[in-house]
Amino acid sequence: MDIQDIQNEIIDEFAFFNDWTERYEYLISLGKDLSPLDEAYKTPDNLISGCQSQVWLHASQDGDRIIFKADSDAILTKGVIALLLRVFSNQSAQDILSADIGFIDKIGLKEHLSPTRANGLASMIKHIKLYALAFQSKM
């Protein structure tokens, strides 16, 4: 599935919910379902600055695909990063770098996060794109 198809799926899922209370509950459930990040990757190098809570992001390459793994000490943030991993993990560096990530606005995520969490979201996306840029330059 390509990045746009995944985003469309997420938009459809969020449209199913009546209000943001239900959407927050959904994000929390996504966070609970996220596989834990191996403690070996919870290092200062993998810690994303700019987030209110601690978020670790690790990337590896499998052929031309980038595999992201992440974790957070805050359950809502963990749900947000789970959404981002769903969109970007197992995609090529080029697809990640050229992706229009309009789903964030379409589901209203940014406007329903506190300003510090919205800054954290921007930092997470920036780090994902930086990993993609780094892996693209190695190819």
Q: What is the pLDDT of residue 54?
A: 93
Q: What is the pLDDT of residue 51?
A: 73
Q: For residue 89, indicate whether it is catalytic.
A: no
Could you read off the pLDDT tens digit of each residue along the chain, which spans 139 residues?
999 999 999 999 999 999 999 999 999 999 999 999 999 999 999 999 877 789 999 999 999 999 999 999 999 999 999 999 999 999 999 999 999 999 999 999 988 888 888 888 999 999 999 999 999 887 6
Domains of the chain, residue spans: 3-138
CATH top-level class of 3-138: alpha beta
Active site residue: 3, 10, 34, 51, which one?
51
56/124 Cα distance (integer angstroms): 9
